[in-house]
Amino acid sequence: MSMDAIKMLQGKKILLGVSGSIAAYKAATLIRLLVKEGAEVKVVMTNAATGFITPLTLATLSKNEVPLNISDHDSWNNHVRLGRWADVMLIAPASANTIAKMALGLCDNLLLAVYLSATCPVMFAPAMDEDMWHHPATRSNVDKLISYGHQQIPIATGELASGLFGEGRMAEPEQIVAFLKTHFQQKNGNKPLNGTTAIVTAGPTIEHIDPVRYISNHSSGKMGIAIAEALADAGANVQLVLGPTSQQTSHTGITTIKVQTAQEMFEAVTTRFPHAGIVVAAAAVADYRPANVADRKIKKGEAQLHIDLEKTPDILRSLGDSKGPQQLLVGFSLETNNEKEYALKKLREKHLDLIVMNSLADAGAGFNYDTNKVTLFDKNGQERSFPLKSKQEVAQDIVSAIIELQHA
Ligand code: C5P
C-alpha cells in the first residue's frame, strides 16, 4: 500500500490549540508537517504558550492569524466560528493545567472557549513532567476527557525538560500526524489496512511426549486474538494461526488456522508468509520439544525419567531472515529480568520492525490476565511505554504503531 503519493490530509481543517509546555516549540514542526500534508491549519494559543513560542512564528507557518485573547477584536465571535470551522481540534501540547481545565469545562482563555464550543472530534497530546502525569488528579482528568469521547495521543517516554527520564514527553509531530491520518481514514471508512494481509500467531504450542502427555506453557492467546481483531477492524484480512486454547474469535475479518505444535505453526505461517504484508508473532512457541515422541504411553518405571529435548524452529527468526522490504514483522518479548536488553537484542537479531516488551514482573501483565502493560521498541530506535490497559486497548496501540511504521 503506497500512501506517499496521496496527501491524506488534503483540505482537512485542523484547529491546533497550543498550551504552555516546553513541547510548544514542536508546534512549529507539527504545523509545517500538517501544511505539507495539505491541511489547513488555524492556531489558538494560551498566554503561557506564548512564553515558549511566539504567535508570529505559528501565524507565519500556519498562514493564518493567531488570536490570543477572548477580548481581542472579533475573538469572542471567533471562538464559536473556529470551533465550528474545524474538522478536528487538536490540543498539542496539552499541559496538565489545560487538561484539568478542559476536564472541568473552565473557560478562562480563548483556547478553552474554542474547545468548549468545538463540535468536531477533539484530540490531545499531553506533555508534562512524569510525576504530574502520574498524579491522580491528572489521571482522572485524562480519563474524563476520554469519557467525553476525546482521543488521547499516546504520551512518549524519554528525556524530560526537568532533566529526568520517564513518561511525559509529547508525541513527536510525525506521530501526531500519523494519528490524524488514521483518524481520517477510519472516518472515511477507508480503513488504513484495507487490502493488507496480516498473519497473527497466538496461544501456546504443545509438544508431545507420548500420546497422553505434552509440554506446553500458560499462554491463553488473549493478547494475540485481540491484535488479530484490531488488525481486522483496521481493514486487514487476518489469518490467525492459533495454538491450542479455549479462546476464539468470531470476527468476520479473521480466518483461524488451528495448530498444535511449533512445527505445525511454522508450516502454517511460512506457507502463508509470501502473501502477507504484516506478521505479528504473539504466540508463546515452545523453544524445545521431545526429540523422540513415544508412540505408546510411557509407563511408570525408574525413579527418574529423562526426556531428550531438541530445538523447535524459530518461526519469527526464519521470517526475519527471508522477509522482503515491504513486509513488516512484529515480535513479542516476555521476560522476567533484563527485559529491555533482551527485547532490543531480539528486535535486532530477528530483523523485526517492532517488538512488544512485557514483563512478568509487572502486576496485571502476562498470561491469562485481561490486562497488559507493554513497551514498544521499533527499528528506528523509538521507545514508547504504555500504562496497564485492557488487552484490547494494548492491541489498538500496537496496531497504531504498525500503521505508523507503514507510513514512515
Ligand atoms: O526468542 P523468544 O522466543 O523470546 O522470541 C519471542 C518472539 O518470537 C515472539 O514473538 C514469538 O511469538 C516468536 N517465536 C517464534 N518461534 C519460536 C519462538 C518464538 O516465532 N520458535
Q: What is the mean pLDDT of each run of 10 residues along the chain (408 residues)?
A: 55 96 97 95 96 96 88 64 91 98 96 93 96 96 91 87 85 93 78 91 97 95 96 93 94 90 97 95 97 94 92 97 96 91 96 92 74 94 92 94 89
From the CA of 350, how far away is ligand 1's center (Å)?
9
Residues 101 and 226 in one domain: no
C-alpha 389 to ligand 1 mean position (Å): 23
Q: Is 264 in the pocket of ligand 1 (CB under 6 A)?
A: no
223 Cα: distance to centroid of ligand 1 (angstroms)? 14
Bond from prior residue into 136 cis (ω within 30 degrees of 0): no
237 and 352 housed in the same domain:
yes
**137 Ramachandran zone, left/alpha/beta (phi>0; psi -120 to 50):** alpha
The C-alpha R_g of the chain, in whole angstroms, comes to: 24
Grid coordinates representing 83? 470551533
**For ligand 1, is residue 285 a contact (CB within 6 Å)?**
yes
Distance of CA 269 from the midpoint of ligand 1 (Å): 13
Residue 165 counted as domain residue: yes
Residue type at 321? D
**DSSP letters along 30-51, please?**
HHHHHHHTT-EEEEEE-HHHHT
Same domain, 214 and 353: yes
Q: Which of 162, 186, 210 finishes a domain?
A: 186
Same domain, 171 and 204: no
The pLDDT score that the predictor gives to residue 91 is 98
Query: Which residue positions form the known binding site?
Result: 287, 297, 313-316, 332, 346, 350
Choosing from 316, 317, 402 the residue with most ligand 1 atoms within 8 A of its CB, the one to mutate for a pocket test is 316
Q: Is the CB of 330 under 6 A from ligand 1?
A: no
Give me the number of domains the chain comprises.
2
Q: Is the CB of 14 under 6 A from ligand 1?
A: no
Catalytic residue IDs: 217
| 6 is a domain residue | no
Q: Specify whether 127 is located in the same domain as 22.
A: yes
C-alpha cell at 255: 480466518
Domain boundary among 166, 186, 206: 186
Residue count (the chain): 408
The residues that bridge with 375 in the sheet, in sequence order, are 357, 385
pLDDT at 4 (0 to 100): 39
Domain assignment of residue 125, given as a range: 13-186
- 273-278-280 Cα angle (round to 5): 95
Ligand 1 centroid distance, CA of 289 (Å)? 14
Same domain, 129 and 70: yes
300 in a domain, yes or no?
A: no
- Of 186, 210, 243, which marks where a domain is finished? 186
C-alpha 289/C-alpha 76 separation (Å) is: 72
Is 161 contained in some domain? Answer: yes
Same domain, 162 and 202: no
In a domain, 7, yes or no: no
Considering only CA atoms, which of 249, 246, 191, 251 is closest in space to residue 220?
246
Does one domain contain both 323 and 402? yes
User: What is the distance between the alpha carbons of residues 142 and 123, in angstroms, rounded to a whole number?
Assistant: 11
Query: 221 and 148: one domain?
Result: no
Q: Does residue 139 share a domain with residue 70?
A: yes
Q: Is the CB of 319 under 6 A from ligand 1?
A: no
- Model-level pTM? 0.63
* Contact by Cβ (8 Å): 223, 394: yes
Asked if 268 and 225 count as a contact pair (C-beta separation under 8 A), the reply is: no
Within-domain flag for 303: no
The answer to the question of residue 87 being in a domain is: yes
Give the H or E element holding residue 278: strand 278-281
> Considering the domain boundaries, does residue 296 fall inside one?
no
Tell which atom from ligand 1 comes closest to the C-alpha of 269.
Answer: 20
Query: The domain spanning residue 366 has which CATH number?
Result: 3.40.50.10300
Kindly state the DSSP code that residue 378 receives in the 8-state scheme.
E
Q: Is 312's C-beta closer than 6 angstroms to any atom of ligand 1?
A: yes
Regarding whether 231 and 349 lie in a shared domain, the answer is yes
Q: Which of 289, 319, 332 to mutate to test the pocket of ligand 1 (most atoms within 8 A of CB)?
A: 332
Q: Is the CB of 33 under 6 A from ligand 1?
A: no
CATH number at residue 144: 3.40.50.1950
Interval between CA 180 and ligand 1 midpoint (Å)? 33
Q: Which residue minimizes the CA distance to atom 21 of ligand 1?
A: 314
The finding on whether 273 has its CB within 6 A of some atom of ligand 1 is: no
91 lines ligand 1 (CB under 6 A): no
* 329 within ligand 1 shell (Cβ under 6 A): no
Ligand 1 centroid distance, CA of 395 (Å): 18
Q: Which of 261, 285, 367, when mutated, tests ligand 1's pocket best, judged by the most ligand atoms within 8 Å of its CB?
A: 285
Same domain membership, residue 213 and residue 171: no
Q: Please report, in range form, the residues annotated as the binding site for CTP.
A: 287, 297, 313-316, 332, 346, 350
Atom 19 of ligand 1 has which residue's CA nearest to it?
285
Indicate which atom in ligand 1 lies nearest the CA of residue 316.
Answer: 20
